[in-house]
Amino acid sequence: MRRHLKKFLPDPETIRANPWLRPFQSSLLHPRLWHLNRHSAAGAIAAGLFCGLIPGPLQMFGAAVCALVFRVNLPLALFVTLYSNPFTIVPLYLVAYQIGRLLIGDDTGFVAPPEFAADNLARWSTALQAWMVDVARPLAVGLLSLASSLALGGYLATQIAWRIYLVRAWQQRRRRNGAHTA
């Protein structure tokens, strides 16, 4: 499985050759950040899934920080954050909002944003701010819950899938070796 994943991931030489990343080489070139095994892959996927729901363009930065702190595979953690993109972010945030509403016991239903009023921009701006405050709590609770669930699910799924792959590889090797000795 490692060989299949390594085809898609950059190597440490890319970091070494990049002049912008030279000041961070001592941290970024730590061997555990580039080693790929079941535990580092599972941790990287969990970090990437969790950080993929961070608002704005900070997803990869968050995944890189998590990879550095937890010493998991850095390129895989960065790659996994790409599941949230311009096509998926709105549905993911809507699901997170609904999960948050469910968890905090909010039964008011979906609160639509105020319609844009070009004739009275000040009133629309005030209404928009009030709407954002109303949506903030369920959205924050939902994002944290969804990110944690995705991270835990991704970690467990990776551990299980990698284990199944190893067991099958061992069985095939045993059959091959058994066929040669018989």
Structural domain containing residue 79: 2-181
Burial class (CB in 10 A: 0-12, 13-18, 19+), 127: middle
117-170 confidence digits (pLDDT tens):
788 888 888 888 988 888 889 999 999 999 999 999 999 999 999 999 999 999
Cα dist from 14 to 7, 30, 133, whole Å: 14, 14, 43
Sign of the CA dihedral with 61 first, then 63, 64, and 68 last: positive
The ranges of the chain with pLDDT < 70 are 1-11, 15, 20-26, 179-182
d(CA 95, CA 18): 39
Q: Which two tokens stand for residue 30?
A: 């730590």
**H or E stretch at 58:** none
**H or E stretch at 148:** helix 121-181
Q: Which two tokens stand for residue 144?
A: 């944290």
DSSP classification of residue 113: P
pTM: 0.79
Burial class (CB in 10 A: 0-12, 13-18, 19+), 11: exposed
Q: Which two tokens stand for residue 82?
A: 């790409």
Q: Which two tokens stand for residue 98?
A: 């609904």
Domain total for the chain?
1
